[in-house]
Amino acid sequence: MKLVIPALILSLLLGGCSTLNNDHQDASSTKKQQEKQYENNFISVQKYTGQGYSLDGGEENDKIAEAHRDEVIKAAEKFFLSKYKTKVKVHNLVGNKDGVTVFVESIGEPHFYTYAVVPINEQKIATDHVFSEEGQVEDAIRTGIYAMIYDREFKNLDNLLEKFVSVYPVIGLNKKAVENVGGDRYSTPYYYLSISEDAFSTDLFKEYLNHPHRNHNEWRNRTEDVEVNPKLVFITIQLYMKDLDQEPNKQVFKQLVIDIEKIKNIPPGAYTILLHDNKINKKDDNGQKQNSLERGDPKEIIKY
Encode pLDDT of 110-157 as tens digits. Answer: 999 999 999 999 899 999 999 999 999 999 999 999 999 999 999 999
Residue 293: strand pairing partners = 275
Candidates 100, 46, 92; CA nearest to 287 is: 46
Looking at domain 59-133, which CATH architecture does it have?
Roll (3.10)
Residue 294: strand pairing partners = 274
Residue extent(s) of CATH 3.10.450 domains in the chain = 59-133
**What's the pLDDT at 183?**
73
pLDDT band at 22 (very low <50, low <70, confident <90, very high): low
pTM: 0.86
pLDDT band at 30 (very low <50, low <70, confident <90, very high): low
> Bigger pLDDT: 225 or 36?
225
| Identity of the amino acid at 83 | K
Of the candidate ranges 26-40, 43-57, 173-187, 242-256, the one whose mean pLDDT is the lowest: 26-40
Range list of β-strands (E), the chain: 42-44, 88-95, 99-106, 113-121, 124-125, 170-171, 191-195, 233-241, 269-276, 279-281, 293-295, 301-303
- Mean pLDDT score of the chain, rounded to an integer? 90
Of the candidate ranges 186-190, 203-207, 291-295, the one whose mean pLDDT is the lowest: 203-207
102: pLDDT strictly greater than 90 = yes
Q: For the chain, give the number of residues.
A: 304
